[in-house]
Structures are given as C-alpha cells and as structure tokens.
Homo-oligomer: A and B are copies of this chain.
Amino acid sequence: MDNIFNNLPDAARMMAEEQFHTLLTRPGVRIERIVSHGQITPVDAPYIQPVDEWVLLLAGAARLWTASDGERDLLPGNHLLIPAHIPHRVTWTLENAPTIWLAIHFEDY
C-alpha cells in the first residue's frame, strides 16, 4: 500500500527546490504531498493563490507566515486553512530532516 512517508526525494543530495507530488485529483480538489528540506519562500515572491488551501504538517517542522496571521510554527499534526488571495511564505523548515506537508487544494471547476 502507498505510504506518504516512503519514496521521499533523496535527502542526501542537495534538494534545490521543494518537491511537489500530486497524490489524487478530483473535480474541485487536488491532494498533494510537499517535501521541504530547508527551503524557504523568497521574501519577494510570496505565494498568492486564487483558491483556498488546507495544510496539515505530517513530519518535520516549519514556520509559516501569512499576511493575515503573521508567523506561526508548525509541528506534526498542526493544520490550518490558507484562504485564497492571502499572501503567505514558508519562512523556515528543518535543514537536517525532511518536512512533509499534506496540502488539499480546493480548485475551481
């Protein structure tokens, strides 16, 4: 059976970018795994998305800034809704172990 903690990008080599992997799509929804390894979002390039996104941290640790709530630490089990159009940035992730996120994107039809 598939395991979200398996088949991680090779942490031994330098991961230049966060790794995005779509697990499932359905009308209006996309389920995605994101693996970070020290990456942050550039200060001058926040994410601004046209649709809501629900995020659950599964492993590792991260810090997320949103224009609505400022900077918050995330540990495994933490979850939050990032509303559409709210600028947000990942300001820190663990450097010595993978940080694994589950993201549910509520996409337009």
Contact = CB atoms under 8 A, between A and B. Distances in A.
Contacts of A26: 28-29, 52, 106
Interface of A: 1-6, 23-24, 26-29, 31, 52, 54, 56, 58, 72-81, 102, 104, 106
Contact of A24 (B24, B73, B74, B81): B81
A23 B102 contact: no
A15 to B, nearest CB: 20
Given A28-B29, A52-B26, A4 B102 contact: no
B29 A79 contact: no
B28 A27 contact: yes
A26 to B, nearest CB: 5
